[in-house]
Every structure is written in structure tokens, then in C-alpha cells.
Structure 1
Amino acid sequence: MRDLELKNVIKLNGREFLISTISMHVRHSFFEGDAKKVVYETMVFEIINDEVQFHHPIFNERYNMPDEAISEHGAIIKHPENFFIL
């Protein structure tokens, strides 16, 4: 599973958050084969006045395996309080 794009908006304590999990290619070439590597990243951003605060992520994690990324994305949706402090 090289392509992955999960996006969910949750509400918590009267605030909105975007949970985004994507696949991305490693963009530096320090090591041979980096251009072919895929990593998975989950980020959480607050939404204020209908604008995603992309410049200020409140959670960020990278994974080597898509199953890890998918699992954590789901865990954040179910229990966001375990991943970021409001």
C-alpha cells in the first residue's frame, strides 16, 4: 500500500481538528534508494474559523508501515485525548 490518504475532522470540547494521514516519498537523497522509500505520516491540526492551522501542527508522527499509520489514525479519532493536550 504505497498510496494512503486519510482525512477526518473531529470535534472535541467545542473545537475542531483535522486528522490527516498520508503516504509520502522520502525527498532527500542522503542514502541510495531513498527516492523509492515511502513513509507514512499522521498530523493533527486545529481548525479555527473554518481555516486549518497548517502552520501549527499539534501532533506529528511518522511510520514505516501503512498498517501502523492507519491504526494510529483510527486511535486518534477514538481517543484524541491520548495524543494531544487541549
Structure 2
Amino acid sequence: MRELELKNVIKLGEREFLISTISMHVRHSFFEGDSKKIVYETMVFEIMNDEVQFHHPIFNERYNMADEAIAEHGAIIKHPENFFII
């Protein structure tokens, strides 16, 4: 299990976005061993009036491996236009 928490704010023109990648335990217990399974999730939220719009993610993706999540987090920072509409 690899704990992960990456947070970056990027500015595109007049708009700001929070890019968040975290590790999380699977909370469904449909299958044996799910409670010990870790998935990684990247989400992007717009920041409006200094408040993160957590209720309305504009990008959301889950990964099975930390390295995938880290790579995509970095790719979003470098080329956000490839992941969400600006």
C-alpha cells in the first residue's frame, strides 16, 4: 500500500483549478479483500472566489497503481487542455 496525497493549484488565464490526487481505501465490501484494496483518484475542481468547488468536479479518474496516478497528475499540470475544457 502506498499512501499518496498530491495537491496543486494551476492558473489558466483568469481561472484557477485545484488538482488533487489521493490514495483511498475501497469502501465497498462486495468482494472479499476489498476493505484492504487501495485505489488512487485524481480530481480537478475549479476555484471560484477563493473557494474550491468540491461539489462539481470537472475531471475524475481512478487508477490501480500509484505510479499511474502520479504520472497523470503531472500530465494534467503540464497540459490541462488534454483533460478538461478550459
What SS class does the counterpart of residue 76 from structure 2 fall into?
helix
SS at match of 1:29: coil
TM-score when scaled to structure 2?
A: 0.98
Report sequence identity in percent. Answer: 90
What amino acid sits opposite 1:71 in the alignment? A
Q: Runs of 4 or more off by more than 6 Å in structure 1?
A: none
Partner of 1:25: 25
- Note the residue ranges of structure 1 that are not aligned, 5 or more in a row: none
Distance in 1 of aligned mates of 2:30 and 2:2:
21
Q: CA RMSD in A?
A: 0.7
TM-score by length of 1: 0.98
Describe the superposition over 1:41-70 as per-residue Cα deviations: whole angstroms up to 9, x where unpaired: 000000000000000000000000000000
What is the CA deviation profile of residues 11-43 of structure 1, one whole-angstrom value per residue up to 9, with x for unaligned ones? 012100000000000001000000000000000
Aligned length: 86
Q: Secondary structure at the match of 1:17?
A: strand
